[in-house]
Amino acid sequence: MSSPVLLVIAHGSRDPRHAATVHALTARVRAQRPGLHVETAFLDFNAPSVPRILERLAADGAPEVVALPLLLTRAFHAKSDIPAVLREARAALPRLRVRQAKVLGPSPLLNAALERRLYEAGVRPGDRSSTGLVLASAGSSDPEAIAVIAEIARELRHTGWCSVRPAFASASLPRTEDAVRALRAEGVRRVAVAPYVIAPGRLPDRIAAGAAEAGAEVLAGVLGPAPELARLLLDRYDEATATASRPVAVGA
């Protein structure tokens, strides 16, 4: 029996860098696991759409699909948008089994990808004790997503940074520039900003502008097609397929 198809669902953006980065990431996933059928779809702005890909897979005779949200937190898109799209697909394509995987975060692999980008931007392991870190996410109105970002910041504080503050590009406060200034007020002389986002676009640009406005010394790149991120996608896929194949205990 063939393995389920991995369908990576990204948000989409008018910025062409977004789709290019998503496709680079899924290409790395294919390279890490040759033979796995990997597809990419977008909720908005970019093609192909999720329904179009699922229709094609059903027409091609695919037995099952693992739909993996390319999201770092379990916010509105993971709780509402994607489930709604998948429910409609199940109703329209009853022969195609579709299972939604977990969102990517939180995960030690995401933290490792974040550190990779910081090191590429010029931070060295010995710099941590004298460097404050701003963990800058896209932002959300969902309290669960905000709490996750705050917890990741607390965890990073225990890895050697002299101070860590979360920041948000939209929907929540503080903004990146305010978090940088707050670190300065604490007496931190060197500040690094780490965008906790996957692909370029309007909100990552807002993070970069805030870092520049407040004079942060280091601005890391977005997570992008980091090898740790590709591995995490495969981990989430494996978790979803393992759950699907796990026998149900009698009386459960």
Q: Do domains 5-104+226-245 and 122-219 have the same CATH topology?
A: yes
pLDDT the model gives residue 80: 86
Structure confidence at residue 188 as a pLDDT band (50, 70, 90) = very high
| Percent of the chain residues topping a pLDDT of 70 | 96
For residue 34, how many other CB atoms are within 10 A of its CB?
6
Q: State the pLDDT at residue 1.
A: 53
Q: Which residues are paired to 64 by β-bridges?
A: 97
Residue 68 bridge partners (DSSP): 8
Whether 4 contacts 64, CB under 8 Å: yes
Q: How far apart are CA 49 and CA 3, in angstroms?
A: 22
| CATH node for 122-219 | 3.40.50.1400
Extents of the domains making up the chain: 5-104+226-245, 122-219
Q: What share of the chain is helix, strand, coil (3-state, %, to 5)?
A: 50, 15, 35
CA distance 107 to 109: 5
Phi, psi of 40 (to 5 degrees): -125, 135
Tell me the sheet residues that pair with 134: 165, 193
- Spell out the residues 6+ positions from residue 207 whose beta carbon is closer than 8 angstroms to its own: 136, 167, 169, 176, 193, 195, 197
Task: Tell me the pLDDT tens digit for each residue of 29-57.
Answer: 999 999 999 999 999 999 999 999 999 99
From the list 5, 48, 11, 12, the residue with the least C-alpha distance to 29 is: 5
Burial (CB count within 10 angstroms: exposed 0-12, middle 13-18, buried 19+), residue 2: exposed
| pLDDT tier, 242 (very low <50, low <70, confident <90, very high otherwise) | very high
CATH architecture of 5-104+226-245: 3-Layer(aba) Sandwich (3.40)
The answer, yes or no, to whether residue 244 has pLDDT greater than 90, is no
| 165: helix, strand or coil | strand
pLDDT > 60? residue 245: no
- Give pLDDT tens digits for 73-116: 988 778 889 999 999 999 999 999 999 999 999 999 999 999 99
* pLDDT, position 153: 97
CB atoms within 10 A of CB 235: 15
Q: What is the pLDDT averaged over residues 141-161?
A: 94
State in Å, rounded, how far the first CA of the chain is from the last one: 27
User: For residues 236 and 77, which has the higher predicted lDDT (pLDDT)?
Assistant: 236
